[in-house]
Structure 1
Amino acid sequence: MAHAIVEWTSNLEGEADIHGLLELIAAAMRDSGGVFPWGGIRVRAIKLDDYVIADGKADDAFVNITVKMGAGRSAEFKRLFFSGLFEEVKAHFADLYARRYLALSMYVEEADEAGSFKHNNLHSRFKKDN
């Protein structure tokens, strides 16, 4: 399980390549050497129309990524993988960041397996492929 939820402010519409960001995140997870099983990868975006940033007076924007994953990855893997992923995210937005006020953030959470319920037949499709 690795789910990434990208929240982004609607004032980035037409300026930010959000779908490209989703592809970047999904590709990084697929390229994790099997740490994230392909059938459990979910990457999605939620455009926010209602928000307040800082003092609410400027055309500030943000993109927040929350990654939820099952427990069991080492602290070293998480540090290396997610710091590398965040560098890719920063590079993805570098031009936009240079032109406007933009806050980028990423939070990584481990799911409590006792509170996690799943029913998924996607894994069987990928067992033969990777």
Structure 2
Amino acid sequence: MPHFIMEYSANLDDDLDIPALFEKLNATAIATGVFPIGGIRSRAIRCEHFRVGEGDPDNTFVHLTAKVGSGRSPEVLKEASDKIFETFSECLKPVFDRRWMSAGFEMIELHPERNYRMNNIHKKLADKG
């Protein structure tokens, strides 16, 4: 983890380079040293039906959620969140500077007893190393 889930308004299709954005977010998550590489996931959800603010069809939105496993201190999560939001903001800035946009980010810590996983990617990466 983290699992990055990005929802965005469909009117941003021509403005967002989602693969490049995810590449930078993943690199930032790895650079924090907080998250195992094999647990990082990124996905985007295009929202065809949306209304932002007063309903102007030129308004846009992007919301990024990072779901992370439990067990890290609040200070560590805050520092990682700050770095991720900085990267997210930098990537969005060219669009933000020319379009009406609401952008948000939240990091959610998953419950330690009700979060189930099955992942053999960690083994794959360890075997390569």
- State the TM-score, normalized to the length of structure 2: 0.92
Distance 1:102 1:120 in 2: 36
Tell me what 1:25 maps to: 25
Tell me what 1:85 maps to: 84
Q: Deviations for 1:76-108, whole angstroms, at most 9, x for unmatched residues?
A: 111222112211211111121111101110011
Instruction: Say yes or no: does 1:9 pair with 2:1.
Output: no
SS at match of 2:77: helix
Tell me what 1:67 maps to: 66
1:28 Cα deviation (Å)? 1.2
1:128 Cα deviation (Å)? 4.0
Aligned residues of 2:64 and 2:105 also touching (Cα < 8 A) = yes
Distance 1:69 1:37 in 2: 11
1:129 Cα deviation (Å)? 4.7
- State the TM-score, normalized to the length of structure 1: 0.91
Aligned residues of 2:29 and 2:80 also touching (Cα < 8 A) = no
Q: Deviations for 1:60-85, whole angstroms, at most 9, x for unmatched residues?
A: 00110011011112211112221122
The one-letter code matched in structure 2 to 1:82 is: S
Q: What 5-or-longer segments of structure 1 have no aligned partner?
A: none
SS at match of 2:97: helix
1:49 Cα deviation (Å)? 0.4
Distance 1:24 1:77 in 2: 20
Structure 1 ranges of 4+ moved more than 4 A: none
Distance 1:59 1:46 in 2: 19
Percentage identity across paired residues of the two chains = 32
